Amino acid sequence: MTNYALTIDAVGSGGGSGGDELIAGGNGDRERLARAGLSRVVEPGDIAALKAFDGMPALEIWDRLRQRSRGLERWSTRLAEVDPQRDLERAAAAGARFIIPGDDEWPDAVDVLADAGQLSRRAGAPFGLWVRGRAHLRHALKRSASLVGARACSSYGEHVAAELSAGLADTGVTVVSGGAFGIDAAAHRGAIAASGLTIAFLACGVDVSYPKRNSALLSRIAEDGLVVAELPPGCSPTKLRFLARNRLIAASTQGTVVIEAAIRSGALNTAGWAEQCGRAVLAVPGPVTSRMSAGSHLLVRERNAVLATSVADIVEAISPFGAGLTRSQRAPETLADTLDADLQRTLDAVPVNHPAPATRIAVTAGLDLPTTEQSLEALAALTLITQTPTGWRLSPTSPPQSPT
């Protein structure tokens, strides 16, 4: 049992000054403070908030909450402890910034969640995003795919996640995942190993190492890529926060690839969000004997996910229509494959070792003698067969006739 629910979010206990340069921005300051405050007061994806604040500017929501307006009591309990200025400073001290809609770095892709909200009880666009790392979030997400899957994955899943991730990184695709054990970690590591960009969306504060044993990995991601969260610094993950976080992973990338997932899996939740957001949904197949691939197969069978067997499959799916199309794997044609039916039948009837006369070959092939003789000449011209004093035989170099 995971006891993250135990930890009560530490509010504004972080120290350090500075960070003013990060929260500066002219008349954006009040807006930024309001959104930072809201990111602590309103739970991610709170559908009641979506209804109560529908279409209301963030500044107005913030003011109303602070004025203890009637009907908004639901969000009053946390208000007393909220200090957005202190949160921004605390973030800056942890090397993080808080970006909001209108910022150059804001990833417009997540705005789709404002609409998707009608479809689910854990929707809504985030008030802002807390970001740790040097990369430019919007640019990094421009060509990106989410690789998600089971925590308790198999070594097959781990291998495939790392390989696909490295391959995507090689083609300049940013790999997004959730920073968890298993598939997530393998995906992040694969991209890092290939010197590519990777982004972890967390269900806690960007300064919180969850899970603890992934601390080193998360630090590395923040160094080379980005660690992103909609919850302010210090927040702990909860079950609902994981689910709400999934919607950000799905919305912010062009496609979500489920690598291994049991039937009951958060990865399927992310795939559902990707579908609702109009993003590509892919699933990597695996052995039907593996419980860990059952979720992937379910997605393909019942939810029309695209089967992902290679980097090329993923690139094709996340590319604009017509771009990134890959040639499909085709059987390599051998010369014998290109022969017409009579030539092929004649070739089939020519002995491998002991030469046979044309009359015998005609009977074996079930063709008349003139047709057979004509075919034998053609096959000889192609050097597939050889004439000997006692008849015809296959050339030693003739390709093997594998029965199919």
Q: State the Cα–Cα distance between residues 100 and 135, nearest whole angstrom.
A: 16
Q: How far is the CB of 333 from its own copies (least distance, A)?
A: 9
Q: How far is the CB of 22 from its own copies (least distance, A)?
A: 25
Query: Which one of 171, 364, 374, 386 is in contact with its own copies (CB under 8 A)?
Result: 364
CB nearer to its own copies: pick between 121 and 139: 121
- Supply the angle between the helices 341-349 and 369-381 in degrees, to the nearest 10: 90
Query: Which one of 56, 307, 325, 335 is in contact with its own copies (CB under 8 A)?
Result: 307
Beta bridge partners of 8: none
Residues 213-252 that bind its own copies (CB under 8 A): 237-240, 242-243
CB nearer to its own copies: pick between 197 and 268: 268
Residues 253, 258, 259, 261: what is their CA dihedral angle, to the nearest 10 degrees? 140
Residues 273-292 that bind its own copies (CB under 8 A): 284-289
Q: How far is the CB of 147 from its own copies (least distance, A)?
A: 13
> What order of strands is seen across the sheet that includes strand 255-258?
96-99, 129-132, 226-229, 198-201, 174-177, 144-148, 255-258, 280-283, 306-307
Check: CB of residue 94 under 8 Å from CB of residue 222.
Answer: no
- Span near its own copies by CB under 8 A; candidates 30-38, 88-96, 217-225, 338-346: 338-346
Beta bridge partners of 401: none
CB nearer to its own copies: pick between 48 and 193: 48
Alpha-carbon separation of residue 164 from 138, 148, 185, 254 (angstroms): 22, 12, 13, 16
Residues 64-103 that bind its own copies (CB under 8 A): 73-78, 81
Residues 106-135 that bind its own copies (CB under 8 A): 121-122
CB nearer to its own copies: pick between 73 and 104: 73
DSSP of 4-58: GGGSPPP-S-------HHHH--TTHHHHHHHHHHHHHHSPTT-HHHHHHTTT--H
Q: Does 5 sit near its own copies (CB under 8 A)?
A: yes
Q: How far is the CB of 98 from its own copies (least distance, A)?
A: 19
Phi, psi torsion values for 363, nearest 5 degrees: -65, -45
Q: Does 335 sit near its own copies (CB under 8 A)?
A: no
Supply the DSSP symbol for 93.
H
By rule CB under 8 A, what count of residues binds its own copies? 94
User: Distance of alpha carbon 106 from its chain centroid, rounded?
Assistant: 20
Q: Does 328 sit near its own copies (CB under 8 A)?
A: yes
Q: Does 306 sit near its own copies (CB under 8 A)?
A: yes
Site string for its own copies, 167-206 (x = CB under 8 A): -------------x----------------------x---
Q: Does 325 sit near its own copies (CB under 8 A)?
A: no
Check: CB of residue 134 under 8 Å from CB of residue 101.
Answer: no
Residues 381-400 that bind its own copies (CB under 8 A): 400
DSSP of 369-393: HHHHHHHHHHHHHTTSEEEETTEEE
Query: Which one of 98, 293, 375, 379 is in contact with its own copies (CB under 8 A)?
Result: 293
CB nearer to its own copies: pick between 212 and 354: 354
Q: Report the half-sphere exposure of 115 (CA within 13 A, side-chain side).
A: 9
Check: CB of residue 146 under 8 Å from CB of residue 250.
Answer: yes
CB nearer to its own copies: pick between 86 and 97: 86
Residues 11-70 that bind its own copies (CB under 8 A): 41-43, 46-48
